[in-house]
């Protein structure tokens, strides 16, 4: 009897076994790296598609209140014609408006219902406290207490910007809507992060040459992609993301419509995208007991990034934080990392 194959899960697993992205880095040395980087960056931008047209930020600080040793602000700015971005900004009470301070964009991951709030240390709901305890998730608050100005923008389809009313997964429905227009949520979120940089450059506290970015899970996705194409991000910390699309995506389906765009794995794996950050400093966090991204896959992804950084002559600008914990922000090296490079 013929060997038949009915299931789509089996289909994608079999497809993934021999899949090799066309533009994954295979070279050695600075010349090979430079040639690859120019070609790869151009292709990545092509795959992401057109960014929106910028509009005036029309930024407003809706309130600024003391919160312990910090000042907590609610900021809203316009990123494009039909999109406004609500943010939490945290800064030390004694931070001077002298254009001399470092700032860090801190991106959240899932679930969409919580959005930016727990990353900013908001504890108004039991779910916030649970997420902070489970994932060490208030890294925006922690970094502000360490002396940085931090901004937590709401990503599209998350938190305040989730208007699907719980009917279906916001990430997937927005991807389907956008795909028939050739507009992708991932691209739009990257655009909003670029506009975050524009906003930070207007802040009197911030040195525009000292802006970094970090995030866990989808926040790591956002950090890797934004830093890859935005040179104003001077240092990046990616937590729990750099592992092959083959495993977490095609084999296990552990992704959503916010994290992908057409043909990305046809050309790149996640380590290639992160490698485009070179030679700028990059910290990669990997949890041994991560139940979203398996440690063996994360370690392989890190080796791919390492090859790119070493070819670029920037091996000393790459570091890892492998820690015995779950899917969470490690926080073992991040503070010193940003103090060193920002």
Bridge partners for 213 per DSSP? 105, 236
How many other CB atoms are found less than 10 A from the CB of residue 307?
18
| pTM of the entire predicted model | 0.96
Hey, what domains does the chain have and what are their CATH numbers? Answer: 51-237+248-263+321-341 (3.40.50.1820)
Q: pLDDT per position in the chain (342 positions), as tens?
A: 888 888 999 999 898 888 999 999 999 999 999 999 999 999 999 999 999 999 999 999 999 999 999 999 999 999 999 999 999 999 999 999 999 999 999 999 999 989 999 999 999 999 999 999 999 999 999 999 999 999 999 999 999 999 876 666 889 999 999 999 999 999 999 999 999 999 999 999 999 999 999 999 999 999 999 999 999 999 999 999 999 988 888 888 888 888 999 999 999 999 999 999 999 999 999 999 999 999 999 999 999 999 999 999 999 999 999 999 999 999 999 999 999 999
């Amino acid at each position: 009897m013929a060997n038949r194959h009915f299931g789509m899960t089996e289909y994608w697993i079999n497809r993934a076994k021999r899949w090799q992205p066309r533009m994954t880095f295979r070279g050695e040395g600075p010349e090979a790296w430079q040639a690859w980087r120019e070609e790869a960056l151009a292709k990545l931008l092509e795959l992401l598609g057109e960014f929106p047209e910028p509009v005036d930020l029309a930024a407003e600080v809706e309130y600024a209140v003391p919160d312990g040793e910090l000042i907590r602000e609610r900021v809203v700015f316009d990123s494009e014609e039909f999109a406004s971005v609500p943010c939490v900004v945290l800064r030390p009470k004694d931070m001077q408006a002298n254009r001399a301070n470092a700032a860090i964009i801190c991106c959240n991951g899932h679930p969409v219902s919580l959005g930016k709030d727990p990353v900013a240390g908001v504890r108004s709901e039991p779910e916030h406290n649970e997420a902070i305890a489970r994932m060490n998730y208030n890294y925006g608050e922690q970094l502000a207490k360490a002396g940085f100005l931090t901004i937590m923008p709401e990503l599209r389809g998350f938190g305040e910007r989730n208007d699907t009313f719980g009917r279906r997964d916001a990430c997937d429905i927005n991807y389907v809507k956008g795909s028939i227009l050739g507009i992708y949520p991932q691209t739009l979120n990257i655009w909003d992060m670029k506009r975050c940089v524009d906003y930070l450059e207007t802040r009197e506290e911030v040195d525009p040459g000292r802006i970094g970015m970090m995030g866990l899970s989808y926040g790591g996705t956002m950090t890797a992609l934004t830093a890859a194409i935005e040179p104003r991000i001077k240092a990046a910390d990616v937590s729990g993301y750099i592992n092959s699309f083959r495993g977490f995506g095609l084999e296990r389906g552990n992704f959503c419509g916010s994290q992908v765009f057409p043909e990305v794995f046809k050309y790149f794996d996640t380590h290639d995208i992160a490698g485009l950050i070179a030679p700028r400093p990059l910290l990669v966090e990997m949890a041994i007991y991560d139940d979203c991204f398996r440690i063996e896959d994360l370690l392989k992804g890190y080796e791919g990034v390492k090859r790119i950084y070493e070819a670029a002559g920037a091996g000393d600008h790459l570091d890892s934080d492998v820690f015995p914990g779950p899917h969470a922000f490690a926080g073992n090296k991040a503070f010193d990392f940003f103090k060193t490079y920002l």
